[in-house]
Amino acid sequence: MPKDSAGHLIPGRIGPDRPVDASIARPEYVGRPAPAKHTGGDVYDDETIERIRAAGTIAADAIMAVGAAVQPGVTTDQLDAIGHEFVTGHGAYPSTLGYRGFRKSVCSSVNEVICHGIPDDTVLEPGDIVNIDITAFKDGVHGDSNRTFIVGEARQEVADLVERTEESLRRAIRTVMPGRRVNVIGRAIEMYAKRFGYGVVRDFTGHGVGTSFHSGLIIPHYDTDRYDAEIVPGMVFTIEPMLTLGTHEWEGWDDGWTVVTRDRSITAQFEHTIVVREHGAEILTLPSA
């Protein structure tokens, strides 16, 4: 059911909406077709940064809770339930739920899915990989993070891809420094990925995040002269490289969300929300334990 005869994913059945207690504040876009235009820029004061860290910690802890449940036989909808309960149980709103019509609290992206996979009745099998992307909204701000988990044991080539995608994020974070341009980030990722011949996804980027989920600031993950915004202290944005075992080109499913590699090659992603400090980046989406 979840895969065709070639082993490629096919859309599953999406379950009913999960409720959120009325006591939890929603982002303004919930119940609307699209978010309001972001105002106020990408630089935040320390008090707001601490609120983004609080939201980001909930997102990170939720990802770890979901990751602990990743095993053969579990469905991506069951993972959504865990993420949903964790985030709402900590008084936060799962930012993807009702964002531009997305109906789940987690993005679950399996194997050749680059990003924005919708949790459904897809059953995870040994050797699959699944990215869990969770954003939490609390006290007026969002914290956005993701990690890729291996289901049981993967082929060496796939395990290497996962490990090196996380390493590409670490390297990207280390290039962040006031006075540099945001395109140094893509350069670091692509330079590292090219060593292994990986595809580097270009059309899905990092973004400013804080009082808005996506502020409009774009952080490239590939080597380009475009996107030359200057990195300044107090700036908050995500870095979320997607690397593939094949092409960087993509196709979208008819559900309007699921993004897959055109050649159906396996792809991994890791994401952190970071704040720029005088001496480099500080991660705002570290798990609490």
Q: What region, left, alpha or beta, does residue 28 occupy, with left being phi > 0 and alpha being psi -120 to 50 degrees?
A: alpha
Q: x/- string (CB under 5 A) for Co ion, residues 109-148?
A: ------------------------x----------x-x--
Q: How far is the CB of 92 from Co ion (least distance, A)?
A: 14
**Which of 86, 99, 137, 192 touches ligand MF3 (CB under 6 A)?**
99
* Beta strand segments in 151-271, E: 199-200, 206-207, 218-219, 236-239, 242-244, 250-252, 259-261, 267-269
Q: Which residue in the set 49, 92, 107, 193 belongs to the binding site for ligand MF3 (CB under 6 A)? A: 107
Binding residue count for ligand MF3, defined by CB under 6 A: 14
Cα separation, 6 vs 146, in Å, equals: 28
Is 75 a residue that touches ligand MF3 (CB under 6 A)? no
Residue 135 engages ligand MF3 in binding (rule: CB under 6 A): yes
> Does 102 help bind ligand MF3 (rule: CB under 6 A)?
yes
Q: What share of the chain is helix, strand, coil (3-state, %, to 5)?
A: 25, 25, 50
* Buried residues in 139-170 as b, exposed as e (16+ CB within 10 A): eebbbbbbbbbbbeebeeebeebbebbbbbbe
Query: What does 99 bind: ligand MF3, Co ion, none (CB cut-off 5 to 8 Å by kind)?
Result: ligand MF3
Q: Residue 221 corresponds to which tokens in the numbers above?
A: 């993950």
Per the structure block, which two tokens stand in for 120?
A: 């459904």
Question: In angstroms, what CA-CA distances link 42 with 1, 45, 119, 133, 289?
Answer: 44, 10, 31, 22, 28
Rule CB under 5 A: say whether 238 interacts with Co ion.
Answer: yes
Residue 134 CB, nearest approach to Co ion (Å): 7
Contact between 116 and ligand MF3 by CB under 6 A: the answer reads yes
Please report whether residue 144 would count as binding ligand MF3 according to CB under 6 A.
Answer: yes
Per CB under 5 A, residues contacting Co ion are 133, 144, 146, 238, 271
Per CB under 6 A, residues contacting ligand MF3 are 96, 99-100, 102, 107, 116, 133, 135, 144, 207, 238, 240, 257, 271
